[in-house]
């Protein structure tokens, strides 16, 4: 039988049951999807009650979200904080005028790893009481903090997660959404939710069932991240770890670094095209063997390609998980370092996925 054959609704409902058990929410608060950009377009259209709602993105926006917003005919505004590595709810609040806006946060941010506390999420949910707060928890298994508990208090929050990111299946964009029952019910009316291929269903089910394998991989990535950072520090390459599966590097010549690594078949992303991320690159942590190839390449690289005499010193807001915005303090710290899509090596332009 062809792998492209669709499964029936009973099988999809089985998948929903597995997801709801894992997330500990009721079945009617869960909906799976197989393609992120297409789903986000549907979600944006559904939440755009006035057909002219503004979309406020807290932090750097990735191409898939920008494309979905454009297809949904939403005007998008990217709101950056004092530092690209720290979530800044205060600046987002200043952009809200009606309380009917849609706010989208990737928590942690998919480009820089910047994150928001639970208190920040609650603050923003209240501020858009007639709009919506979308929390993209793509890296939830790495980060751990979730806006899911707020679903008990608010009916305007939508939480999105990936089922495959923790397993390193980078080509897969499937996941699931959790929200109030009325939102899920409305989504089912406009989204082709029960038409999932057998292959996609098998992948999602396998990921749900392999908790031990996921934990093993997460520990491996954690250990590899520390090893990579220690090695780069030894070469005086400025770098920054994230609560995700990537390390950020700040280098003198991103194009030269990218071209040199490409010659050694090492994939890396040039983030120069993002605002406030000049000189930054992003390396997605891989297996120990692949990481060794990357590290060996840096050992052979001319130091003037990557060494900088300056540090990135930008104000960053520090807060504990439960602190409200009025309790935060501003501190100046050294920030040596994090995809608006993959860039071609040797180019500073962003190669958007269409």
CA pair distance 110, 36, nearest whole angstrom: 14
Q: pLDDT at position 42, please?
A: 96
CATH 3.30.413.10 fits 212-334, yes or no: no
326 alpha carbon, distance to own chain's centre: 27
86 is written with which tokens? 């720290």
Q: Say if strands 280-284 and 157-162 run parallel, antiparallel, or are unpaired.
A: unpaired
> Where, residue-wise, is CATH 3.40.640.10 in the chain?
9-210
Name the architecture of domain 9-210: 3-Layer(aba) Sandwich (3.40)
Q: pLDDT at position 214, please?
A: 79
> Where, residue-wise, is CATH 3.90.1150.10 in the chain?
212-334
Contact predicate 88/81, CB 8 Å: yes
Contact predicate 157/12, CB 8 Å: no
Q: pLDDT at position 301, please?
A: 97
Q: Say if strands 54-58 and 313-318 run parallel, antiparallel, or are unpaired.
A: unpaired
CA pair distance 2, 22, nearest whole angstrom: 30
Question: What are the residues facing 238 on neighbouring strands?
Answer: 250
Task: Kindly compute the dihedral angle of the four CA atoms of residues 234, 236, 239, 241, in this order, to the nearest 10 degrees.
Answer: 20
CA pair distance 352, 354, nearest whole angstrom: 6
Each of the 354 residues of the chain gets a pLDDT tens digit; together they read 334 455 567 777 888 888 888 888 999 999 988 889 999 999 999 999 877 778 999 999 999 999 999 999 999 999 998 889 989 999 999 999 999 999 999 999 999 999 999 999 999 999 999 999 999 999 988 888 899 999 999 999 999 998 777 766 665 678 899 999 999 999 999 988 767 767 677 777 777 777 787 788 889 999 999 999 999 999 999 999 998 999 999 999 999 999 999 999 999 999 988 999 999 999 999 999 999 999 999 999 999 999 998 888 776 655 555 555 445 444 433 333 333 333 333 333 333 332
HEC assignment per residue over the chain: CCCCCECCHHHHHHHHHHHHHHHCCCHHHEEEECCHHHHHHHHHHHHCCCCCCEEEEECCCCHHHHHHHHHCCCEEEEECCCCCCCCCHHHHHHHCCCCCCEEEEECCCCCCCCCCCHHHHHHHHHHCCCCEEEEEECCHHHHCCCCHHHHHCCCCEEEEEECCHHHCCCCCCCEEEEECHHHHHHHHHHCCCCCCEHHHHHHHHHHHHCHHHHHHHHHHHHHHHHHHHHHHHHCCCEEEECCCCEEEEECCCHHHHHHHHHHCCCCCEECCCCCCCCCEEEEECCCHHHHHHHHHHHHHCCHHHCCCCCCCEEEEEECCCCCCHHHCEEEEEECCCCCCCCCCCCCCCCCCCC
Task: Say how many C-beta atoms besides its own lie within 10 A of residue 227's C-beta.
Answer: 15
Q: pLDDT at position 345, please?
A: 36
Is this prediction's pTM over 0.95?
A: no
Conformational region of residue 51, where left means phi above 0, alpha means psi within -120 to 50, and beta covers everything else: left
Contact predicate 214/167, CB 8 Å: yes
Establish whether the linkage from the previous residue to 342 is cis, with ω within 30° of 0: no
């Amino acid at each position: 039988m062809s792998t492209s054959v669709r499964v029936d609704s009973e099988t999809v409902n089985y998948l929903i049951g597995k997801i709801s058990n894992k997330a500990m929410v009721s079945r009617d608060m869960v909906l799976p999807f197989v393609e992120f950009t297409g789903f986000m377009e549907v979600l944006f259209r559904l939440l755009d009650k006035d057909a002219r709602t503004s979309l406020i993105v807290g932090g750097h926006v990735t191409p898939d979200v920008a494309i979905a917003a454009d297809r949904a005919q939403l005007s998008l505004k990217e709101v950056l904080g004092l530092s690209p590595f720290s979530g800044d709810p205060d600046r987002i609040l200043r952009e809200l005028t009606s309380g009917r806006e849609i706010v989208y946060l990737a928590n942690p941010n998919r480009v820089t790893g910047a994150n928001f506390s639970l208190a920040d999420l609650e603050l923003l949910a209240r501020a858009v009481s007639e709009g919506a707060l979308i929390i993209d928890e793509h890296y939830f298994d790495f980060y751990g903090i979730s806006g899911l508990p707020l679903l008990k208090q608010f009916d305007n929050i939508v939480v999105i997660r990936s089922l495959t990111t923790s397993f390193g299946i980078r080509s897969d964009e499937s996941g699931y959404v959790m929200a109030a029952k009325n939102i899920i019910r409305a989504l089912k009316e406009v989204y082709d939710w029960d038409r999932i291929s057998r292959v996609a269903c098998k992948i999602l089910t396998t990921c749900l069932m392999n908790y031990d394998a996921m934990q093993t991989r997460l520990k491996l990535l954690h250990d590899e991240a520390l090893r990579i950072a220690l090695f780069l520090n030894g070469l005086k390459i400025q770098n920054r770890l994230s609560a995700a599966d990537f390390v950020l590097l700040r280098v003198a010549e991103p194009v030269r670094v990218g071209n040199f690594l490409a010659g050694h078949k090492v994939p890396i992303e040039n983030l120069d095209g993002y605002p406030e991320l000049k000189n930054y690159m992003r390396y997605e942590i891989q297996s120990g063997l692949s990481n060794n190839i990357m590290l060996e390449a840096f050992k052979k690289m001319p130091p003037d390609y990557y060494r900088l005499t300056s540090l990135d010193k930008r104000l960053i807001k520090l807060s504990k998980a439960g602190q409200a915005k009025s309790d935060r303090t501003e501190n100046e710290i050294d920030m040596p370092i994090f995809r608006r899509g993959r860039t071609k090596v040797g180019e500073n332009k962003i190669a958007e996925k269409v």
